[in-house]
Amino acid sequence: GQQVMQIPQYQHVQEGEDFTTYCNSSTTLSNIQWYKQRPGGHPVFLIQLVKSGEVKKQKRLTFQFGEAKKNSSLHITATQTTDVGTYFCAGPLDNYGQNFVFGPGTRLSVLP
Amino acid sequence: GAGVSQSPRYKVAKRGQDVALRCDPISGHVSLFWYQQALGQGPEFLTYFQNEAQLDKSGLPSDRFFAERPEGSVSTLKIQRTQQEDSAVYLCASSQSRQGRLLTANEKLFFGSGTQLSVL
């Protein structure tokens, strides 16, 4: 079945450093979503990318969808302690289904 | 309500006991999902409802797991004869989207706070 992988599994950065997490799917995705889960919390939607090669920015966060729509990345510029959490990408099983497959996540720690 | 509500927040069960987990989705949301999240892992899909119809239950790990949404609103996930490997956080999510049409922008999932199940 479809698999969604993420690297790295963990990332420790000094506050102010940049951070990037990468998401790869075994199949072409119609769209990809990113979620953030704070420690002890639940996943919260960040963004959805739909178009091939799409780039979206949210303040210090930059999201990119690959040309082949099989990979995506999230880049955070100048991390802050509020960025701590686990970042998940999720892709639908098919264009019409609603079942999202989540990646294993990248856990970000930010040292002050 | 303002968000997805799940209860109980924590549940401790003895091995072999039956448990029932409740999810109250955002009012008007058509789709409801149950996910299982083990410690340090991503959410794993269990089952999906569109209104009262259970359209996909392929993620349910065994026949001890049963979910229902009889009136198309509140949903209950029931686990019979719990086992230690059932220990996890069970997350419920709802969305406005409907199966059968192309996903459009912002078909996002709204998650509840989850029920942390510990089976001793």
In the A/B pair of chains, how many CB contacts fall below 8 A? 71
CA proximity to B59, closest of B22, B14, B93, B15: B93
Chain A residues near residue B55 by CB distance under 8 angstroms: 98
Distance from the Cα of residue A30 to its chain's centroid: 16
Domain regions of chain A by residue span: 4-111
Spatial contact of B94 and B4, defined as CB atoms under 8 Å apart: yes
Task: Look over chain A and give the mean of its residue pLDDT values, rounded to a whole number.
Answer: 93
Quick one: pLDDT at residue A13? 97
In this complex, the residue of B44, B105, B111 whose CB is nearest that of residue A48 is B105
Q: What angle do CA B23, B107, A76 make, to 5 degrees?
A: 100
Alpha-carbon distance A14 to nearest alpha carbon in chain B (angstroms)? 22
Cα separations in angstroms, A93 against A2, A90, B93, B116: 7, 10, 16, 26
- State the Cα angle at B79 between B62 and B27, rounded to 5°: 110
Across the interface, do B100 and A30 touch by the CB < 8 Å criterion?
no
- How large a percentage of chain A has pLDDT more than 70? 94
Assess whether pLDDT exceeds 60 at residue B1: no
Binary contact (B35, A103; C-beta < 8 A): no
- The arrangement of strands across the sheet holding B75-79 comes to B5-7, B19-24, B75-79, B65-68
What local confidence, expressed as pLDDT, does residue B90 receive? Answer: 98
For B13-61, how does the pLDDT look when each residue is reduced to its tens digit (9 = 90+)? 999 999 999 999 999 898 899 999 999 899 999 999 999 999 889 899 9
Mean pLDDT of all residues in B85-90: 97
When comparing pLDDT for A82 and A92, which is higher?
A82
- Cβ distance A97 to B99 under 8 Å? yes
Task: Please check the confidence at residue B106 and state whether its pLDDT lies above 60.
Answer: no
What's the CATH superfamily of B5-115? Immunoglobulins (2.60.40.10)
pLDDT at A99 over 70: yes
Q: Where are the beta strands (DSSP E) in chain B?
A: 5-7, 10-13, 19-24, 31-37, 44-50, 53-56, 65-68, 75-79, 88-95, 110-111, 115-119
**What is residue A100's predicted lDDT score, i.e. its pLDDT?**
85
CA distance B55 to B33: 10
On chain A, the residues whose CB falls within 8 A of the CB of B33 are 98-100
CA–CA separation, A35 vs A89, rounded Å?
6
A43-A49-A50-A55 Cα dihedral, nearest 10 degrees: 180
Interface mutation target, options A5, A89, A94, A98, chain B, most CBs of B under 10 Å:
A98
Q: Looking at the domain covering A4-111, what would its CATH class be?
A: mainly beta
Residue B100 has a pLDDT of 47
As a whole number, the mean pLDDT across chain B is 91
pLDDT over 50 (residue B102): no
Q: Which residue has the higher pLDDT, A83 or A93?
A: A83
Q: Which residues of A touch B (CB under 8 A)?
A: 30-31, 33, 35, 41-45, 48, 50, 88, 90, 92, 95-105, 107
Q: Is A88 within 8 Å of A103 (Cβ atoms)?
A: yes
CA distance B110 to B65: 23
What pLDDT is attached to residue A23? 97
Chain B contact probe: residue of A48, A54, A99, A101 with most B CBs at under 10 A: A99
pLDDT digits (tens, 9 = 90+) for A23-81: 999 889 888 999 999 999 999 999 999 999 999 999 999 999 999 999 999 999 999 99
Residue B47 and residue B57 in contact, taking contact as beta carbons nearer than 8 Å: yes
Mean pLDDT over B88-100 rounds to 83
Contact A92 B103 (CB under 8 A): yes
% pLDDT > 90, chain B: 78
What pLDDT is attached to residue B105? 46
CB-based contact (8 Å) between B111 and chain A? yes
**What six digits make up the tokens of A31?**
């769209």
pLDDT above 70 for B103: no
Enumerate the domain spans of chain B: 5-115
